[in-house]
Amino acid sequence: MPTSTRAGRFIVFEGIDGAGTTTQVQRYSQHVRRMRRLVHITREPSDGPVGALLRLALAGRTTFGSAHLAQTMALLFAADRLDHGTSEIMPFLRDGAVVLSDRYDLSSLAYQWASAGQEATGDFCDWLRSLNRFARRPDITVVLDVSPDKAEQRRRERHGAVELYEVASLQAKLAELYRDAEKLMPGDHIVHVAGDQPLDAVSAAVVEVLDPIIKR
């Protein structure tokens, strides 16, 4: 059985829609299990009550007033994150698990900043950070940098419904923000992996940067 005697690790995967975060979370979890470590996969929006509401909004099945949509979404994501941390992330970390999260608060800063239009000022970014000041910091965040064209191709191949933020112009802006993720989250441990590579090459690069965090 996997051991739970080691310190837990909180690892976040980030990138634009179609970057491959979900795929790499699944692949790395299998690698961690082979190391005989406890591993728990989670995501944001979470599966909690606020996360369920956010998923409806992203799918266009519920709507909010458009005047301050970026702010409304930021508040909901922050509320979901605090609930997510308390009810799911922290308990698994206390048990010594490696917690792999498909997105976290870097997504909030990038997506709300990109969608805020003229309201995207330095003060707005500071406000976004302040909403998440009680969120547990990741031990490391892996940003999968993918070209917007490649990501769009992957989204089309999924044959799923188009979600709220899956607009080409917005995704291009998001790609720029993710390339400078360190400016959005100063002080966080962030690494970049080229996500346009073949799948196995991306997974190998992820293993290379994360294994030292798991094993130390």
- Rounded average pLDDT over 6-32: 96
| Side chain identity, residue 203 | S
pLDDT score, position 118: 67
- Rounded average pLDDT over 71-81: 96
How far apart, in Å, are the Cα atoms of 135 and each of 71, 84, 97?
18, 9, 18
pLDDT score, position 159: 66
Return d(Cα 39, Cα 96) in angstroms, integer: 9
186 has a pLDDT exceeding 90: yes
Q: 204 versus 6: which is more confidently predicted?
A: 204
pLDDT score, position 156: 85
- Rounded average pLDDT over 156-173: 82
How far apart, in Å, are the Cα atoms of 70 and each of 63, 115, 174?
12, 6, 14
Question: Residue 165: which of 174, 153, 178 has the closest Cα?
Answer: 174
Question: Residue 138: which of 11, 8, 14 has the closest Cα?
Answer: 11
Q: Decide: pTM greater than 0.85.
A: yes
| Side chain identity, residue 109 | L
pLDDT score, position 64: 86
Q: CATH top-level class for 9-215?
A: alpha beta
pLDDT score, position 72: 93
pLDDT score, position 115: 87
pLDDT score, position 116: 83
pLDDT score, position 3: 40
Q: Where are the domains of the chain?
A: 9-215
15 has a pLDDT exceeding 70: yes
How far apart, in Å, are the Cα atoms of 178 and each of 13, 32, 145, 155?
12, 26, 7, 18
